[in-house]
Structure 1
Amino acid sequence: MKRILVTGGAGFIGSHLCKRLLAEGNEVICLDNYFTGSKRNIIDLLSNPYFELVRHDVTEPYYAEVDEIYNLACPASPVHYQYNPIKTIKTSVMGAINMLGLAKRVKAKILQASTSEVYGDPAVHPQPESYWGNVNPIGPRSCYDEGKRCAETLFMDYHTQNKVAIKIARIFNTYGPHMNIDDGRVVSNFIVQALQGKDLTIFGDGSQTRSFQYVDDLVAGLIALMQTDASVTGPMNLGNPTEFTMLQLAQTILELTGSSSKLVFQALPQDDPQQRRPDIGKARELLDGWEPQVGLKQGLQQSITYFENVLSAQ
């Protein structure tokens, strides 16, 4: 049994990760300040004697004896990370410093949940880990993009200078149950709008693309990356390489929900990427057979069921 710390553990991805780590026989400490996370996401874990929930903000130091750390704490949707951009970049940078300091002291392995946003609006397609990105350092998304880029720098420097055992995962668009109903990301937006009979809001002309990864596939990838030997530090892309336009996504959700909602088009937000698709060659090679398993329609159907239950409970 390992003792594992998950920051942001009550959030969308963190809650699924906590559940999987407990199922594999580990002891889990879940840290969250509930800015975007929720106790509802981990309510079924509270009775597990090997699960510990701590209300804590990673911008402040935290002390515990642990074997592994998954650093997931940070708002990840534009609506939330732009609400308080200074707090967002503090969470990424100071949170990384505090968790790396803890990992150094207790000799724990630590994984950073980085993001495909480090590639910005990419000039290379699909995006390999070797691509340095095309990021606006002073735009409305830069608090998140540059915060995550700086966190990657800190991880590599702690590894090089202090021999901390690190892993860096660059997470591409992920969806599934436990997303916030007001998350602001495209999958949850479209599903909620469709279920409520509202117009589906498409920014731009709908030709921009994303690659959508179901949360179970991501969690499997994160755990597989953590289990690699010390020579594998990352960065490593974790995503589903199947690419869809926003129009295709909207039409698929309308089909699966049976909604009669209409499509409406609005101006594209500043610095919104036109294309996003991961090159997952490195993950396929190094993660012992890891490969996304859940197709878009299957994952969307499970997400739709989740949001139907959330909406009916309101």
Structure 2
Amino acid sequence: MNQLDALKQFTTVVADTGDFKQLAQFQPQDATTNPSLILKAVQKPEYAPLLAEAVATHRGLPLDVVMDHLLVRFGCEILKTIPGRVSTEVDARLSFDTAATVARARRIMALYEAQGIPRDRVLIKIASTWEGIQAAAELEREGIRCNLTLLFAFCQAVACGQAKVQLISPFVGRIYDWYKKSAGAAWDEAAKSGANDPGVQSVRAIFNHYKKHGIATEVMGASFRNIGQITALAGCDLLTISPELLAQLAATEAPLNQALDAAAAQAMDLPAVSYDEASFRLALNEDAMATEKLAEGIRAFCADAVKLEELMKKV
């Protein structure tokens, strides 16, 4: 059995791509997208017609409306290929505006529903800022399920659990990147791989906390740099993986064992933790890695949203 099939015994496998033509071969349950992935996809010849069609059909409407139509069009195509859910992201430029995030999420969901897609097949992706988490809490109460992304710190995960969000996407590879870069020449790749990878350790701590305290929010590890990070998280609720790494897993026959175990977590001695806005902001500020990576991630998604708008203007 290859490692991809083995992983599916313990974990729901999700494809991290806007390239829906690649999906079928890996048979993922769910799929996630973000502005960067959609930007990458629409620059490929086979997807250019989707961009042209979205712009032509909605010409004259504000660019943000056209963008949401385009994102939903990709989401609908992805849903034809997978049995589960697709994640579609709210514009990252709204990451610090709770009311605007709620309004945008409602609009995206309305566009899906207009295409006959039920709410339970869509997750609205929102950055894990304090404002984003509060928006998600409000949306969840309305029955709009959320995926909180750009999650790097334990305090972000705790706040998401308090908000009763459906799912979180703690980032593994970007945490690894930060620690590797900050260590410089002192970095020991072998010593910091697998279960000792700082990104893997972050997700494991969140998973164990949730399972210990009966928090229903799903944990979906994201942003992987190598298959060792993925196999070290076998047993996580979900893992969202790029097509390149899915292909590597499918081509690898080495044995794969469950690494995370909800039952084992319940027996651990882990204190309950909660945050209000002030303590959340302080905890996030105390974590240099999470502070820098959250800001950097939002900047990158904002930049790609702008690039996507520029492409629309040229169609």
Higher RCO (CA 8 Å, separation ≥ 6 residues): 2
Structure holding more strand per residue: 1
- Whether TM exceeds 0.5 here: the answer is no
Structure holding more helix per residue: 2
TM-score, scaled relative to structure 2 = 0.33
